[in-house]
A and B are shown apart, each in its own frame.
Chain A
Amino acid sequence: MSDEEKQTPSVEPSVEKAPTPSEKVPTARVEVMDDARTRALTEALQSSFKVVRVIMVILAVVFLGSGITRVENNKKAIHLQFGKYKEPALEPGLVWAWPNPIDKIVEIQTTSLSTNITSDVGYRTADNDEPQASMSFQPTYDGYTLSGDGNVLHIKAEMTFSLDETKGGAIKEYKFGFSDIDLFLKSILDNAVYHASASRSAIDAFTNPDELGDAIERRVEKTIRKNSKDLQLKINLTTPKVKVPEDVKPAFDAFLKVQQENEQKLATAKADAESTKLNALGQAKVIEGGGQTAANTLLTSVQAEAKAFSAQRSYYEENPLLFEQRLVAETMQRVLTNAVDVFYLSGRTPRIWLNRTPEKRKLKEGGAP
């Protein structure tokens, strides 16, 4: 028997009969075990019970209070009861649940997940982050990927992701669906890089990394859906880094230079073509305008002649010879006035009539007058 057990029978009656603090029992009326030791023990036990009671209350409060969780603004929370997911996902704010092990609140950051997933199996070497110059590649050391035309390339792709907050299932799947979500995403990113590079030529991947990035992103999204319909992630893939092996870089640079020159040549040809077309359109307008002017002139002229004819006919019919002579004289006057030189022959001596306004001499280009 332990000391405690031995003491218990003697202590309990005294506890039951122990006076309350308000009662003042005369010491003389206590007939059994009223010695100082017993009283001290009784008081000690009373104090202990009070302390235990207070501790229990505190523990109960702490226990219940530990169920309060503050869900931050950029997070959502999942409520698990006996380990089972309870719909719906909890919004930011103060939430309360029974403390562990009954309930559990798991917080998840939904926006701007800081995890950066990188695929560099086709880029880095075993020792360096950047590809190194080499006459040949050792597969287990050098990182590279194969392009659709059987060439080798270095491709590095990076992506971040965020959860679709509107889908409670997505949050649950993200948190509980995968043993290592980062490893899973890295594997499918590597797979997407391989698929994208294996289906296009090295020069396409090298000169158009944006398009390569789109193909990688599409593949990543497709593969995520294939693995889990509930995992709704918004993928943000940055433009992949594409490099050709150092040894073949000069050949690629020369190719790009020719390509640029070619583009320039085509741009010039297009500009010339546009100019030719615009000139032709301008000339066409001039031709059409000239035709219209000639037509107007003809009509106006014929109309005027017809009017003049009608006006002159009566004079002509009255004396045709005189009419003709008058008009001939008028015509000769105008013709001779405009003529530069007029020669008329009188007998054997030709006579000359010099025009009144000498012709202006044109200056030869660069010459003296």
Chain B
Amino acid sequence: MKKNHITLTIGAFLVIIFGFMLFTFQVRETEVAIKTRFGKAVLYDDLYVEGDTLPDGKAVGDVKTKADIGPGLHPRLPWPVHDVHIFDKRIQSSEWAFEQTGTRNSQPILITVFVTWRISEAELFNRRHSGDLAKADDLLQGQVRSAQNAVIGKYAFNELVSTNKDELKLDEIEEEMKTRVAEASKVNGIEIIMVGIKRLGIPESVTGAVFERMKAERQAEIQKIAAEGERQAMEIKAKADLEANKILAQARAEAIQISGEAEAQAAKYYEVFKQNPELANFLFQRKALEGLLKENSTLILDPNTPPFNLLTQPDATKAAKP
């Protein structure tokens, strides 16, 4: 009886595993699946959530009917009732070869564009591409080529490359290409996330001329820079001189002001001299004379000038006495 119990346990375990394999299927985090019943997709009711592409008249929280099955363990009936198709829902990057196209002003350019995309509706994707990513990639290539020719043809070369930010339309060009490709891909169950220019080139025949232009531009730039440098140096010097003169003028004005204030302060002392103007005048003159003849002077004097008068008029001092 004990041995039967073990056998039954093993058997039950195997049946469970087999049942799981037969009646369930797993969808991984990187995948999306659809389930078909006798070849027709099984639809579910779900709610629109944040991040979903909302059709006209629908909002987040509204009921949507969908065939896509997300990650996890899901029930199924065995084949041929149910059939499960699993697809890679990760973001795919596609890019193609350098292709020539023309700008609005008929300038030939070479361009490489890359696209990031993912499956947005697995059921639609399965119907259009039989679930084959390579087929989808091929179809995208045509759509991207068509979009790039149409969009680039609307813009001038200086809107593709320019040092003037207002002139440059790169973001606008990429966005317009994305809109066109997204519109075309929507019916194939593909969501376009980004279309970007990966590389831009010019035909070989033009590059030689570009080299010559680059050389000429550098030469012109050299002359311009040298002259500009000279001008700037002179301007700096002139500015410095101006500033220096201004500083000196201010200092002189300051000195004059200080002197004036001192004169004004001195005026109160001059009041004293009014008490005897003759004496004041005599003292001022004496001071002036002394100041004038302070050093390195040569004097030519009359013999009557004191004290030389003593030499010619010995009695002069006595005579001068009262």
Contact = CB atoms under 8 A, between A and B. Distances in A.
B214 A184 contact: no
B311 interface: yes
A84 B208 CA distance: 57
A284 B248 contact: yes
A316 B279 contact: yes
B134 interface: no
Interface string B148-160: 0000000001101
B255 A306 contact: no
A150 B210 contact: yes
Contact of A346 (B214, B251, B303): B303
Given A268-B233, A269-B237, A298-B263, A223 B170 contact: no
Given A223-B194, A254-B218, A291-B258, A338 B283 contact: no
B148 to A, nearest CB: 14
Given A191-B114, A306-B270, A309-B273, A325 B28 contact: no
B286 A328 contact: yes
Contacts of B214: 151-152, 202, 244-245, 248, 251-252
Interface residues of B, number: 123
Contacts of A336: 299
B305 A344 contact: yes
Given A84-B72, A139-B201, A266-B229, A287 B251 contact: yes
Interface string A110-124: 000000000001100
A343 B308 CA distance: 11
B262 to A, nearest CB: 3
B105 to A, nearest CB: 13
Given A147-B161, A247-B211, A313-B279, A343 B301 contact: yes
Contacts of B286: 327-328, 331
A161 interface: no
B130 interface: no
Contact of B163 (A199, A245, A247, A277): A199
A261 to B, nearest CB: 8
Given A187-B95, A291-B256, A281 B247 contact: yes
B241 interface: yes
A181 B237 CA distance: 58
Q: Is the interface of A mostly helix, strand, loop or mixed?
A: helix
A332 B237 contact: no
Interface stretch (B41-49, B56-64, B77-85, B288-296): B288-296
Contacts of B250: 284
B262 A295 contact: yes
Contacts of B255: 287-288, 290-292, 294
Interface in A214-273: 223, 226-228, 244-245, 247-248, 251-252, 254-255, 258-259, 261-262, 265-266, 268-270, 272-273
A258 B200 CA distance: 31
A279 to B, nearest CB: 7
Contacts of B308: 344, 346
Interface in B120-171: 157-158, 160-165, 168, 170
B93 interface: yes
B40 interface: no
Contact of B198 (A82, A194, A331): A194
Contacts of B12: none
A54 interface: no
B92 interface: yes
A295 B114 CA distance: 84
Contact of B162 (A148, A188, A254, A338): A148
Contacts, number: 355
A57 B210 CA distance: 78
A194 B7 CA distance: 69
Contacts of B272: 306, 309-310
B265 A299 contact: yes
Contact of B199 (A145, A177, A296, A317): A145
A15 B3 contact: yes
Interface in A272-319: 272-274, 276-277, 279-281, 283-285, 287-288, 290-292, 294-296, 298-299, 302-303, 305-306, 308-310, 312-313, 316-317
Nearest to A254: B222
A149 interface: yes
B170 A292 contact: no
A312 B284 CA distance: 13
B107 to A, nearest CB: 10
Interface string A121-147: 110000000000001111110001111
B6 interface: yes
B299 A335 contact: yes
Nearest to A198: B161
A28 interface: no
B244 A251 contact: no
B200 A145 contact: yes
Nearest 7 CB-CB pairings of A with B: A291-B255, A295-B262, A273-B240, A280-B244, A284-B251, A262-B229, A82-B73
20 contacts: A84-B73, A136-B207, A138-B204, A150-B158, A203-B218, A245-B214, A248-B214, A252-B214, A258-B222, A261-B229, A272-B240, A273-B240, A276-B237, A298-B263, A310-B275, A316-B276, A332-B307, A339-B297, A344-B303, A346-B303
Interface of B: 3, 6, 10, 26-31, 70-73, 88, 90-93, 95, 98, 110, 112, 114, 116, 157-158, 160-165, 168, 170, 193-194, 196-205, 207-208, 210-211, 213-215, 217-219, 221-222, 225-226, 228-230, 232-234, 236-237, 239-241, 243-245, 247-248, 250-252, 254-259, 261-263, 265-266, 269-270, 272-273, 275-276, 278-280, 282-283, 286-287, 289-290, 293-303, 305-308, 311-312, 320
Given A82-B71, A228-B91, A316-B279, 13 more contacts: A82-B26, A121-B198, A150-B213, A187-B198, A203-B221, A269-B234, A273-B236, A291-B254, A295-B262, A317-B279, A341-B298, A344-B303, A347-B303
